[in-house]
A and B are shown apart, each in its own frame.
Chain A
Amino acid sequence: MSAVSKIGKLGDLAKKIPVPDVLKFFNNLVDAYKEGQVTEREIAKINAHKEVMLAEISGKYETYRLVFNRIFDERKEVIDRFFDVIDKGVASNDKQIILDGLEGLSRIVSASPFANTEQLSRLLESGKALEI
């Protein structure tokens, strides 16, 4: 609805109001305007909060995702290296090499990739720079 037609409607509405009430009507109108302004500010505030929280959730999710991806990628590289050692042992029929490879594999797999999650969480909360 355009501003002109809104004002027109307002005029139509004013005609229906008894003359003694006109002053009260305009006072109410001013109050309504003020309330509208307050509402607008509240909406802007809610929207800002919403955007900040969305950004915080998404940002933290992305950071954790990257960190864990990096952790798992590194572990995969080490695991693959132990697989190579085991394969070499099998190829040369050297049981000691096979055992060394299997021991290493077992060591890396039994070490939890989530052992330092709490520290990581604290580091992120502290806002310090994170190197990955």
Chain B
Amino acid sequence: MALSDATKDILTFGAHSRVEDKRAELLDLQQKLSEALTERDAAIAQTNQAIEQLIAVKTQAIGTLGGIKSISKQLRAAERNPSENSIATLPVPQLSRLETLISDGEIMTHARAGVAAGASLAMGTWALGGGAGLAGAGAALGASAAGLTTVGGGALVAGGAAAGAFALGSLVLLPAAAILAIFSHNSADKKISEIETEIGKALIVFEESRGVLLTVNNLGRRVREISEAITKTNLVFENEKEKCLRRIYPLGGLSRALKAIRRFFGGNYFSKRDLDTLLPLLNMARILADLIDQKILDAKGNVV
């Protein structure tokens, strides 16, 4: 015959009640946990927006850089002609890098056009991984997408990754092993054991949610920082590019034709004055390219 709660309470001098009260106290922890998860999800949504913004900013900057493709083409042609020594001072090796970056960016922009809503995983990879880290960051983003259901967070990139799997290096607030070691079912009492298990699990989720919140907030700030720097640099570069092009091609198409004729007769396409004008612009292009290429996630999904 099952004993009533009152009888159990009498026989154990109130211990049964105290265990039940303790179980009810767990609800306080659940409330704390629920608030932490809500805060984490809000941070993930904000960081998603920041990444969308970064993708837009990078795409725009790639478009601006694309405007110097024709100049780059002429300079690279000159590079192949050893007699044109006047461009030796220009950072010509940077040109191939610029062209690759523009090309990658254009491919990504076209890829985005094929995605119905939001940014694709590929775009997120491109925006966060930087040129050099594309493959590794792609894997990390893919792994994060797989982790979406386990952390219950929102998508970091729409149709793409969850923030839960990202990390700030070795930063851990409290190792899960340490929590489990404490709440490791030492009690002979089944109810106490159950409570221990529940508290242990809740604490692990709480720790994880705080860690994710920290990571995602920092990722968001880093993304916004880079977005602002690219936006500013892109604006300056675009203005300087317009001035520079007006100076090099004052007569538009006619100036281009005259330069082509000069080259046809064995002269340099760009004059010394043109090259002096181009040098600062190419340096600005290099800086803009560095910012566009800035890696935010490494191959392991660490925020760097």
Contact = CB atoms under 8 A, between A and B. Distances in A.
How big is the B interface, by class? Answer: 35 or more
Interface string A47-76: 101100110111011001100100010011
B195 A114 contact: no
A6 interface: yes
A36 B14 contact: yes
B71 interface: no
A17 to B, nearest CB: 12
B173 A113 contact: no
How big is the A interface, by class? Answer: 35 or more
B252 to A, nearest CB: 22
B232 A118 contact: no
A73 B66 CA distance: 33
A46 B183 contact: yes
B210 A58 contact: yes
A98 to B, nearest CB: 6
B294 interface: yes
Interface string A99-124: 10011011001101110011011000
B203 interface: yes
B214 A117 contact: no
A33 to B, nearest CB: 5
Contact of A39 (B19, B225, B229, B240): B19
Interface of A is mostly: helix
A76 B221 CA distance: 10
Given A61-B173, A75-B225, A79-B229, A36 B12 contact: yes
A42 B240 CA distance: 73
Given A57-B203, A114-B168, 15 more contacts: A1-B6, A6-B10, A32-B11, A36-B13, A37-B15, A40-B18, A47-B25, A49-B183, A58-B210, A60-B174, A65-B214, A79-B229, A106-B291, A109-B291, A114-B303
Interface of B: 6-7, 9-15, 18-19, 22, 25, 29, 32, 168-174, 179, 182-183, 187, 189, 192, 195-196, 199, 203, 206-207, 210-211, 213-214, 217-218, 221-222, 225-226, 228-229, 232-233, 236, 239-240, 280, 283-284, 287, 290-291, 294, 303-304
29 contacts: A32-B12, A33-B12, A39-B18, A39-B19, A39-B189, A46-B195, A46-B196, A47-B22, A49-B182, A57-B206, A61-B214, A65-B214, A75-B225, A86-B232, A96-B280, A98-B236, A98-B240, A98-B280, A99-B283, A102-B284, A106-B233, A110-B290, A110-B291, A113-B218, A113-B221, A113-B225, A117-B168, A117-B170, A118-B170
